[in-house]
Amino acid sequence: MLREWVDRTAREYPARLAMTVFAAVITLFTLLLLPPWATATDTGARFVDALFTATSAVCITGLVVVDTAEYWSEYGRAVILLGIKVGGLGVMTIASLLGIAVSRRIGLTQKLLTASETKTGTTRLGEVGSLIRLIIVVSTSIELTIALILLPRFLALDESLGLALWHSTFYGISAFNNAGFVPTVDGLLPYASDWLVIIPVVLGVFIGALGFPVMLNLLQARRHGRRFLRHLSLHTKLTITTSVALLVAGLVIIGAMEWANPETLGGQDLSTKFLSALMASVMPRSGGFNTFDVGAMRAESWLVTDALMFVGGGSASTAGGIKVTTLAVMLLAIVAEARGDRDVDVFGRRIPRDTLRLSIAVVFIGATMVLVSCIALVRITDFSLSQILFEVISAFATVGLSTGITGDLPDGGKYWLSALMYLGRVGTISVLGALALRDRRRVIRFPEERPIIG
């Protein structure tokens, strides 16, 4: 019954499916965080803090209004970790399901990767089931791998076996799911110079942010040995190219801006400086971990970080934002426009024109959410626009980096950011859903007329 409903809803109302599932899961985890035993002091959490934390965990954001390690009990932290795992699976599954729906509806010859993985002739029920199984296997394998790489390092740093297991598992899940939650008060701050901790975490975040379709395509293409490159989809090539370009750009720009800032990179040696700049470049899109005080960064670095956060990671990934392919398609369209080309071509492929309209919708709706939220928070708080813009984009793009004001927001601000995390998470997915419904084609076409632009 439930599976049939999910199946029919995914087919007919994909946006509604995403919104309903996430709202239901957030409600459930809010209830799980409300009992007295969820907090360390046994006094129980305030409703707004439980709702905010549940939303942050399920939407794999990582913004916190209370310190995860200090405020919540072991039960509470386990609930949060479960919320991250469920949220990450949910995002990848629903976004991939919508990918199938889209490829069905508009009759693509080359279907999306998720669709090509399932055998033809099987029922949709079977497809959904095998997709979910596949996502669980792939994501859990990567989380375990990261945890196993981290475990010996934590043991070597004199943690007990139990604690090291807990920490490495927590970071494995939190990193791959781009969750940004940390199990200790200091988080990754003590490991700022430690390549053996930072690099696995950065890799986990980067791979998670590529998105399930890319991971699957990479796994499939690997089977073809030498002809590996030829079996990469356009989506995979665009995602990886743009992600790497943003990584290098962020590393260089933020690294240069913070180089002499005594409160961030200023006092660090060259090796740590590199790791810090790497973190500052990777984490906005949208891992959310930090190894130095984000609140102490220069205001211009915040703006660069804002831009990186807004872009986010790959489609159907655990990262948020408008997605790297959206940025890539828009940039390619602008280049084509400047060169006077009729088509938007890249990697020997032509990008369909309706993709551009979808990109505009994603960017415009995202920018509007950010603008309206900034106006609201500037009105109800006394924080500066620099801080508010950072926090708002961090919530919208489910990043979790913070200048430190989230915990001090009035309740109205906490509710607003909760809603923004939810809308930022399901919003871009829902817009994708609209494409799946594109079947009401008009028979009568109006005559064309050109308004002047610009």
Binders of its own copies in range 72-101 (CB under 8 A):
99
Q: Which is nearer to its own copies, 235 or 414 (CB)?
A: 235
| Whole-angstrom distance, CA of residue 292 vs CA of residue 280 | 9
The structure tokens listed for 412 are 């109205």
Task: Pick the piece of the chain touching its own copies (CB under 8 A) from 18-26, 119-127, 147-155, 370-378.
Answer: 370-378
DSSP track, 73-135: -HHHHHHHHHHHHHHHHHHHHHHHHHHHHHHHHTT-SS--HHHHHSPTTS-HHHHHHHHHHHH
What type of residue sits at position 253? I
Token code pair at residue 142: 């990567």
Is 62 or 413 the residue whose CB approaches K ion more closely?
A: 62
Stretch that binds its own copies, among 61-69, 222-230, 271-279, 364-372 (CB under 8 A): 364-372
Taking the C-alpha atoms of residue 165 and residue 153, their distance in angstroms, rounded to an integer, is 11
Nearest CA among 428, 318, 430 for reference residue 93: 318
- Residue 241 C-beta: closest distance to its own copies, Å: 11
Q: Which of 42, 70, 345, 408 binds its own copies (CB under 8 A)?
A: 345
Distance CA 402, CA 139 (A): 27
Between 387 and 406, CB nearer to its own copies: 387
Structure tokens at 119: 């055998």
Q: In whole angstroms, what is the distance from residue 400 CA to residue 412 CA?
A: 19
Footprint on this chain of K ion (rule: CB under 5 A): 62, 178, 180, 286, 288, 400
Residue 286 contacts which entry, K ion, its own copies, none (Cβ below 5-8 A, type-dependent): K ion
Residue 451 touches which member of K ion, its own copies, none, C-beta under 5-8 Å by kind: its own copies
**125 near 3, Cβ under 8 Å?**
yes
Instruction: For residues 85 and 174, give the distance between their C-alpha atoms in angstroms, rounded to a whole number.
Output: 8
Q: What residues between 154 and 213 interact with its own copies by CB under 8 A?
A: 211, 213
Binding positions for its own copies, 380-399, rule CB under 8 A: 384-386, 389
Q: How far is the CB of 181 from its own copies (least distance, A)?
A: 25
CA–CA separation, 396 and 27 (whole Å): 19
Of 92, 78, 102, 91, whose CA–CA distance to 29 is shortest?
A: 78
**351 in contact with its own copies (CB under 8 A):** yes
Return the residue of 203, 298, 407, 419 that touches its own copies, per CB under 8 A: 298
Number of residues counted as binding its own copies (CB under 8 A): 88
Rounded Cα–Cα distance for residues 340 and 164 (Å):
58
Choosing from 326, 394, 406, 418, the residue that interacts with its own copies (CB under 8 A) is 326
Partner that binds at residue 385, options K ion, its own copies, none, CB closer than 5 to 8 Å by kind: its own copies
- Site residues for its own copies, 417-436, by CB under 8 A, read 428-429, 431-432, 434-435
